[in-house]
Amino acid sequence: MRARTFFTAVVVVAALAVTPASASSAAPADPLTPTGCVPTDATGRPIQLGQADNGRTICLRRWQRLYVTLAVDPVRYPNPYNWWTPVQASGDVMVALPLPAPPPPGTTAAAYRAVQPGRGGLASYRDVCPPEIPCGAPVLPWRVTVDVN
């Protein structure tokens, strides 16, 4: 057992010795530089996101469009208090686009175009409790990270 421990320690020390110094002290990525990501759709077609994309990281080409549709059943949740909040974009990598028409009841929709390299995000949330009866359930978040090359 002692020989195995010594061997493991030697291997770890050797691995650390050959690791370039830049790998351990890499500077954080500049949010305005290309991210090096591979485009989610290399053809440049618009990307459509929904509830199932929560937590995902996507990669867009510059000028590529992105559409978000988050929906609830308006019969089950007739109060807009329980619908998804308007999608909020963070960072300067996307600009909001106008929607061609208002979305149907229970649906939150948004459209964006990637305009510069870097990293940004999209976020929304919804409350499942009726507004008049607190139920203690947490709000449901929706977040997507957007990288643009």
Identify whether 90 is part of a domain: yes
User: Would residue 1 count as lying in a domain?
Assistant: no
The answer as to whether 99 is a domain residue is yes
Does some domain include residue 15? no
**What is the span of the domain harbouring residue 78?**
31-148
Q: In which band, very low, low, confident or very high, does the pLDDT at 18 lie, cut at 50, 70 and 90?
A: very low
Q: Say whether pLDDT at 16 is over 90.
A: no
Domain assignment present for 75: yes
Is residue 8 included in any domain, yes or no? no
Q: How does pLDDT run across 61-108, given as a tens digit for each residue?
A: 999 999 999 999 999 999 999 999 999 999 999 999 999 999 999 999
Q: Give the global pTM.
A: 0.74
Q: Is residue 82 part of a domain?
A: yes
Strands 140-148 and 65-71: unpaired
Q: How many domains does the chain have?
A: 1
Cross-strand pairs, 107 = 71
Judge whether 93 lies within some domain. yes
Q: How far apart are CA 77 and CA 87, in angstroms?
A: 19
What's 50's domain CATH number?
A: 2.60.40.2020
